[in-house]
Every structure is written in structure tokens, then in C-alpha cells.
Amino acid sequence: MHHHSPIERVLRGIALLIVVLFFMFPIFWILLMSLQTNETILRSPPSIVFEPTLSNYAAIIAGRLDSNVASMGIDFMSNLMNSVILSVGSVALALVLGVPAAYAFARHKFRGSEDIAFTLLSFRFAPPLLVLLPLTLYFQQIGLADTYFGLIWVYQLICLPLILWIVRGYFEDISPDVEHAYRIAGHSWFSTFRRISLPLAAPGIAAAALLAFIFAWNNFIFALVLASADKQPVTVGALAFVTASGIQYGQIAAAVVLSITPTLALALYAQRYLVEGLSLGAVKG
């Protein structure tokens, strides 16, 4: 559209370079740190020339931290496993609950449908502790405290609105005539839902599921409040790890890298849908 002068082009280039450096550098630096021993990490001035080692990762995977003072067990792998269980479980539950509801909201403007959708949405924006603190007391009473199911149920606070609002938009985009045509052809309601509506909304469902997974994985506060040590996901686990391991900086960095890799990989894979998902369908990517 515009013609830029050479000076402007150079300035733009520099600005972009600074932007990329600022946003990429922390990830890059943590990655480098995770490949170093404590000795090279503590070197001053810092240098990017070092002999890379996988010992930090090995220690985390083995679950043993050996320092020159003592040797201690650390169970970061179980934190990773918990993250997987909680995120996959929450997304699965949110899909089971959310997709049929999204369809009902998209196709049948029944009384109260908007109210339910908006209640869910408004709690997406309400302070999570408001719901969490009373829940800790309830959970102790009904025995859901410190169970995966209890946590997964609370995670619906993040996952369900996301699934509901994104998938609803995709269902709304399907022409009702296409569904009518399939039913007139002689197929039942359910078979129409399964063979027409679901496949046509599949990209949206996949995108919403990926995003819900990322948000569930990245969640911190729910697990901090509700999960005890053996149910903690990586976000909470990594923090505890820092306190426990003290000065094992290389291992901490490796733990951080292991914790953020799944979401970064998924985000890159699903980047096409991110804009739409992040804005709950308000902005088309």
C-alpha cells in the first residue's frame, strides 16, 4: 500500500528485531540454561559458549537430584503426568458437556438459553477465587477434595465457556438447510447431528479443544488452591520445585522447558485458530 523510504525501512527492521528479541529471548535463555551445569550457569560474565549437557533432563526424568551436598528425590514427572491427566480430562469433559449444549444454543433459541450461555461466560471473567474458596470447604465435605475428578470439574470454569462459545459459532455457520436436507432424506435427528453437524463443525471443535487444553495446562490458581502435592500439575509443581531444590538452577530451567513445551507445540500447531479462540469468536483470524 505504502512506499517506504530506505531510512524508514531500516528503522522498521530495527524495531522488529527488538520486538523479536524481547519476546523470544527469555524462552531462548531458559532453554540454554537447561542445557548447562550449575558451574557454567554461575559463570560471570555469562556466555553462550558452553558444552551442552542433558544431565538436567536426565535428573528430572530419573526423579533424583544429586547435589554435592546431598541427594534428594523429586517427583517432577508425576507433576507432568498430573498436568496431562487434568488437561485431557477437563477438555474431554468440556467437550461432552459443551458440544451438545453449543448445538442447542446455536439451533434452538429456547427460553433461558442465552441466560445459561451468559452466566457461563460471565464467570469466565469473575475472580476465580470467589468460587474456589467456598469450593475448598464444600469439597472437603463431599469428598471431592484432592481428587482428579474434583479438579477436572472445577477446570470446567475455563474450558466450558471456551468450548461453548467457539463451537456455537461454528454450528451457527452451518446452513440449517443442510441439516434439514439430511433429515428430509430420511435420517434421524441424532444421525444428522453425527453425520452432518459434527463433521462440519469439526475444525471449530478441534480448535476449541486445543485452546481449552492450553488454558487448562497453564492454569495455576485452581490447582494451587485445591490440589495437594500428589495431584499438582506442572505450574504449581515447578514453584514447589524451586523451593525444594534451592540452587539446582539447571534442573529448574529444564523443568520449566518441559512444562511449557506441550503448550507451545500445540499453539504452533493450532495457530490458525488462536485468534478466533482467544477472542471467543469475536475476531476472525
Compute CA distances 252 → 127, 130, 223, 235, whole Å: 30, 32, 20, 12
| Window of 44-52, 57-65, 73-81, 84-92 that interacts with another protein by CB under 8 A | 44-52
- The answer to the question of residue 72 lying near another protein (CB under 8 A) is no
Which residue in 59, 60, 82, 105 binds another protein (CB under 8 A)?
Answer: 105
Which residue in 5, 71, 175, 228 binds another protein (CB under 8 A)?
Answer: 175
- The answer to the question of residue 162 lying near another protein (CB under 8 A) is no
- The answer to the question of residue 81 lying near another protein (CB under 8 A) is no
Cell of 97: 458437556
Q: Are 76 and 63 in contact (CB under 8 A)?
A: yes
In whole angstroms, how close is the CB of 45 to another protein at the nearest point? 6
Contacts 24+ apart (CB under 8 A), 265-273: 266/210, 266/213, 266/214, 267/214, 269/210, 270/206, 270/207, 270/210, 270/211, 272/207, 273/203, 273/204, 273/206, 273/207, 273/208, 273/210, 273/211
- The answer to the question of residue 171 lying near another protein (CB under 8 A) is no
Could you give the CA distance from residue 156 to residue 43 in angstroms, rounded to a whole number? 46
- The answer to the question of residue 227 lying near another protein (CB under 8 A) is no
Which residue in 21, 81, 131, 229 binds another protein (CB under 8 A)?
Answer: 131
Which residue in 103, 204, 207, 248 binds another protein (CB under 8 A)?
Answer: 103
Helix (H) or strand (E) holding 73: strand 71-73
Which residue in 61, 72, 84, 200 binds another protein (CB under 8 A)?
Answer: 200
How far is C-alpha 161 from the chain's CA centre?
A: 14
In whole angstroms, how close is the CB of 236 to another protein at the nearest point? 8
- The answer to the question of residue 144 lying near another protein (CB under 8 A) is no
Could you give the CA distance from residue 263 to residue 22 in angstroms, rounded to a whole number? 20
Peptide bond into 45 cis (omega under 30): yes
Could you give the CA distance from residue 31 to residue 253 in angstroms, rounded to a whole number? 7
Which residue in 76, 171, 249, 273 binds another protein (CB under 8 A)?
Answer: 249
Beta bridge pairs of residue 71:
66
| Window of 41-49, 57-65, 72-80, 84-92 that interacts with another protein by CB under 8 A | 41-49
Q: Are 232 and 221 in contact (CB under 8 A)?
A: no
Which residue in 125, 141, 143, 228 binds another protein (CB under 8 A)?
Answer: 125
- The answer to the question of residue 204 lying near another protein (CB under 8 A) is no
In whole angstroms, how close is the CB of 211 to another protein at the nearest point? 10
- The answer to the question of residue 220 lying near another protein (CB under 8 A) is yes
- The answer to the question of residue 23 lying near another protein (CB under 8 A) is yes
Smaller CB distance to another protein: residue 72 or 274?
274
Could you give the CA distance from residue 267 to residue 212 in angstroms, rounded to a whole number? 11
Subset of residues 250 to 279 that bind another protein, contact rule: CB under 8 A: 252-253, 256, 259-260, 263-264, 266-268, 271, 274-275, 278-279
